[in-house]
Structure 1
């Protein structure tokens, strides 16, 4: 009998944010995101100049946990989730920790998308979900080997999850998803009339 193994596994961490750290009220977090977006004129200008749909604080605010206590509580929870994921990945951190590098708000309106990308210079990236109305898009994850498949045929529609070229992770409000930062991902079009709100982040080593 042949022996077939699965090698070079890509891990995706999914948990309720509430499993670690202080309790965070989703309604309070949503209100905070909207209040920040309304006051962040630099972020609004960056989004307009760069054709970014909706709002992101990525290019304007670098100190959310210092400015807003609810984000400080969020980071405490994320630190614990990231530590658990790093343990699962069996990283040898050589006595150091993975530390928050940056954290930002995303508010995606109807019809908005976020094109395929990755996060260079980070180790673990992720998102926690603040508002996911019906029709809001899932997170689309791409097989990192896609560029090397060359003449390979496509996969069957009912292929096992670990063999698919794309995976769609549909989060719920209060979920946190983590992945290694080299994993290419995107947010397909938001088909909901309501806004999809999330908070994304990167962790670096050192």
Structure 2
């Protein structure tokens, strides 16, 4: 019988943010804060309009949410614990360095909005915590990092094993935090729900 092993595994971390939080994050308060910030952030609104971004993101306008708003400071503290757990899971040898939060931003995706396929260069761990996931809203779609090198390979069987698929869709729940290594390409397909899909994304760097 053949000996078949799995090589170069891609890890995806998923947990409830509050499971490791030193101070529980109130997701109703977090949702209200995201909507309030979006309404007041004229620079962010202008950037979204100029760049054709559907809905709202604070990515290009606000870099200090944790300093401005206590609820985001609580989110950052909780994320630190999860990122440390994930770094241990993937057996990073950080030496004298450490993983620190590089940036954190709000995403509000309305009905019909999408976020095209991308990765997060210059970071080590990226992820998202989910603030509002209305019924019928889009999952997050991950792409096999080997996909561009499969050349003449035939397609995978429909309904095959998750770890052998070219694309994997994961539907998060409110309060979830998901982490992955920043080279992993991902996207948010069209939001088909009438209500807004709200999330907070982030990057960690090695310093």
SS in 2 for 1:115: strand
The runs of 4+ residues in structure 1 deviating greater than 2 Å are none
Q: CA deviation at 1:97?
A: 1.2
Q: Distance in 2 between the 1:138 and 1:83 partners?
A: 25
In structure 1, the residue matched to 2:206 is: 205
Q: Distance in 2 between the 1:140 and 1:95 partners?
A: 34
Q: Distance in 2 between the 1:158 and 1:184 partners?
A: 21
Q: CA deviation at 1:43?
A: 0.1
Q: Distance in 2 between the 1:9 and 1:190 partners?
A: 30
Q: Distance in 2 between the 1:41 and 1:20 partners?
A: 34
Q: Deviations over 1:121-155 (max 9, x none)?
A: 00000000000001110000000001100000000
Taking the TM superposition and a 5 Å limit, the aligned residue runs for 1:1-206 are 1-21=1-21, 22-206=23-207
SS in 1 for 2:81: helix
Q: CA deviation at 1:95?
A: 2.6
With the length of structure 2 as denominator, give the TM-score of the two structures: 0.99
With the length of structure 1 as denominator, give the TM-score of the two structures: 0.99
SS in 2 for 1:37: helix
> RMSD of the alignment, in Å?
0.5
Q: Deviations over 1:12-66 (max 9, x none)?
A: 0000001112101111000000110011000000000100000000000000000
SS in 1 for 2:116: strand
Aligned length: 206
Q: CA deviation at 1:83?
A: 0.2
Unaligned runs of 5+ in 2: none
Q: Distance in 2 between the 1:29 and 1:158 partners?
A: 37
SS in 1 for 2:7: coil
Greater CA drift, 18-27 or 50-59: 18-27
